[in-house]
Structure 1
Amino acid sequence: MKRIKKAVLAGGTIAALALAGCAVEPGTQGGGSSNTLTVACGATEEWCKAMTDAFSAKSGIQTSFVRLSSGETVARLTATKNAPEFDVWHGGPADGFGAAMAAGLIEPYTAENAAKIPAKYKDPNGNWTGVYVGALGFCSNQARLKDKGLGLPQSWDDLLDPKLKSQVSTAHPSTSGTAFTTLWTQVARLGSEDKAIDWMKKLHSNVLQYTKSGTAPGQIAGRGEVAVGLVFSHDCVLYKERGMTDLEVSFPKEGTGYEIGGVAVIKGGKNADGAKQYVNWALSAEAQELGPGAGSYQLPTNPDAKLDSRMVDLNTIKLVDYDFAKAAAHKKELTARFDAEVAAQPKE
């Protein structure tokens, strides 16, 4: 396994990892034969490596990946639509897959074992199928909160406290599926896009920075640079486990959003047969049980997969009524509004 190579490509600066001694170099295109496969991977690099390495070993297909956020993946797939550089998209929230589906970037495929996956975790037409579920939460640095005289946030409006000025980190919804989940969660709980944008305007002064990566706010909170990061709770659990011991997860009492991480075949990819094999494997209990070993504690969608005690119990938190199809349909216009009406505005 070669080390990470930095490459400036059409979706921003990404880390291209070489698997089985074959690097994905800037400007090259993977998946060029039936013996190679290239995956656009939306989870952590450690998880992506574990998944692609395991599939390579099982199938004999040399599999590499490029780690990209949801927004970057859609942008890259759009830019290379006539000559796709990827064969599979694995990981990342379902509304991103919905946007790719609407743009004709992914190909319907009903996997051999898709019947095992509950209907609520997959597209009814087979455009994408869920491989994991994660809940959005508050990843707080308890020491920083104590310095501010605050306890763990229990409500979305707790984040609007003036004591948290420049003490909240969240990603940008144009690039991050996690951040778009945060934005659409406000739509779901408040009842309209206008009210969601108004709430985000109120939060704006308390945001230190809008990161590109959806996982970065948890690390920023873990380093004590802010008091609260908005991330999926499993990421916060990982960072605490890896030494950021001041971190603690809490969930908003009004309800929180959640993600269904998907997998899909890229339309026009160079290795369609290999891509379908990969999707079949990704939906298996065997594949989904690899997560905890790679520090990924999302809930598996395959009911036969074993659970880990570090995974969130969805029965203990309140979830909003998150409409993934509607979120995907409104993503472009809503992120444009966020750019213009929230992120571009000066902070008070």
Structure 2
Amino acid sequence: MKKILLCIVFMGFLTGCAVHTTVTEPESEPSVSTGRPEPAYDRLSIYSALPEEEILVYLNAFRKDTGITVDCQRLSAGEMIERVQQERENPRVSVILGGAADHYVQANEEGLLIPYQSPELSNVPEPCLDQAQVWNPIYIGVICFACNEDWFLQKNLPYPTCWDDLTAPELEGQIVLASPETSGTSYTMLAALMQQRGEEKAWEYLQMLDANVGCYTHSGIEPVEKVKQGEFAVGIVFSHDGRRAALDGYPVMLCYPEDGTGYEIGACALVRGGPVKERENAERFIDWMTSQRGQECYIEAKSSRLPANSTARSADGLPAMKDIKTVEYDLEWAGSNRTRLIDEFQRRFPGAQTRKSLS
């Protein structure tokens, strides 16, 4: 099985409602030449698990560079894979974008993806690559605690510095996280805890954590929104989502578990059986998302994602890897056991379904 801990070392630092998005530009604005002819067909359809405000930046830049308009439906990572499963006999999109690679491992095992490797992957450290040569790595993210500074100041309480701190009685009802059923963020947390503690002890811990959870959301982005607005004290999120809120001026402090945390390799891939007329554009889109140009758009989008492409610049102020303790995360194991672990989570925490956000 493949472990991705090494890719972080190679890098040296680390940094639901569906929303339909169609990017359009003025007809008079010329596209930037990329050394390739204008597309014979100028549209592409995708599903994406990335935040809507980020997607708009990337799709606008892609259209300026290529002349291709992208029709995108925003879903959480889990919902995105479920939608592709449901449509396997008649796929409606050509590409899935974003979400942790373990989702793509599962999707490939189910025959939902077509192998395609961008030539840009020559700039990606080998440990971050897909051994099956199906999905393409585009970023790296780490799980952290997004804390509302005002709440902790008012309560005169210290910020949580390890996973067990989240079970403190003072935080009863103050934790918000997404359901691993629909969220790649929370599934990464779930799989990381299983690998870090062993399954028996991890389930015991999650039972204690559940007692303090006031809300389970559909997507991994929602906890950040709720923490930054002061609805909850702590959200379990990917650091790039939490840092964006802090950069936007909200009272959000990011804390990294000192006892180790999980992380993801974000990916994109071709959907098997997608619209034939879009195939060339789909490959071109993946080439663009894996390129230096595409991944430097993370800076413009205020994403704070760590680019997988080693030639791409990253946002200033990202934490050094030496300052973050990570678990040895086996994404192949996480992908192969995803259905089993989610089913067990639902069995153990049926009440989580009634505490999901209605937003």
C-alpha distance in 2 between matches for 1:301 and 1:59: 22
Name the CA distance, whole Å, in 2 between partners of 1:272 and 1:165: 50
The question of 1:324 aligning with 2:324 is answered no
Q: Distance in 1 between matches of 2:119 and 2:246?
A: 37
Distance 1:301 1:331 in 2: 24
Aligned residue in 1 for 2:112: 105
Deviations 1:213-253 (A, max 9, x none): 10111121111111111001121111122231x21011111
- State how far apart, in whole Å, the 2-side matches of 1:310 and 1:47 are: 19
Q: Does 1:212 align with 2:229?
A: no
Q: Kindly indicate whether the alpha-carbon contact (under 8 Å) linking 1:41 and 1:68 is maintained by their aligned counterparts in 2.
A: yes
Q: Which residue of 2 aligns with 1:243?
A: 249
**1:16 partnered with 2:23:** no
Partner of 1:86: 93
8 Å CA contact retained: 2:45, 2:95: yes
**2:268 is the counterpart of 1:269:** no
Q: CA deviation at 1:306?
A: 0.9
| 1:171-204 Cα shifts (integer Å, max 9, x gaps) | 00000000101111211210x2222222111101
**Does 2:154 match 1:147?**
yes
Q: Structure 2: how far apart are the matches of 1:338 and 1:220?
A: 23
Give, in angstroms, the shift of residue 142 of structure 1: 2.0
- Residue number in structure 1 paired with 2:140: 133
Superposition pairs of residues 182-193 of structure 1, within 5 angstroms: 182-190=189-197, 192-193=198-199
Percent identity over paired residues: 32
Asked if structure 2 preserves the Cα contact closer than 8 Å seen for 1:154 and 1:251, the reply is yes
Conservation of the 8 A alpha-carbon contact between 2:44 and 2:71: yes
Provide the rounded CA distance (Å) in 2 between the counterparts of 1:49 and 1:214: 18
Cα distance in 2 between the residues matched to 1:149 and 1:160: 17
Number of residue equivalences: 324
CA distance in 2: counterparts of 1:34 and 1:75, whole angstroms: 28
1:203 aligns with 2:209: yes
Q: CA deviation at 1:323?
A: 0.5
CA contact (8 A) 1:104 1:267 kept: yes
Deviation at 1:310, TM superposition (A): 3.4
CA contact (8 A) 2:135 2:269 kept: yes
8 Å Cα contact 1:52-1:64 kept in structure 2: no
Structure 1 position 143, deviation (Å):
2.0
**The one of 172, 180, 196 aligned to 1:165:** 172
Shift of residue 343 of structure 1?
A: 4.0
Q: Structure 1 residue 299: deviation in Å? A: 0.3
Q: 1:282 aligns with which of 285, 289, 295?
A: 289
Q: Are the counterparts in 2 of residues 299 and 312 from structure 1 also a CA contact under 8 Å?
A: no
User: How much has 1:107 moved relative to structure 2?
Assistant: 0.7
Given that 2:144 and 2:237 are in contact with CA atoms closer than 8 Å, whether structure 1 keeps it comes out as: yes
**2: CA distance between counterparts of 1:343 and 1:93?**
25
- CA distances 1:64-108 after superposition (whole Å, capped 9, x unpaired): 211111110111101111111111111111111111111111111
TM-score (normalised: structure 1) = 0.89
CA distance in 2, matches of 1:83, 1:55: 26
Between 1 and 2, higher relative CO (CA 8 Å, sep ≥ 6) is seen in 2
Partner amino acid, structure 1, of 2:102: D
Aligned to 2:261: 256
Deviates more, 1:145-154 or 1:78-87: 145-154
Asked whether the equivalents of residues 285 and 302 of structure 1 are also in contact (C-alpha less than 8 Å), the reply is yes
TM-score norm. by structure 2 comes to 0.86
Q: Does 1:291 align with 2:291?
A: no
In 2, the alpha carbon distance for the partners of 1:307 and 1:266 equals 29
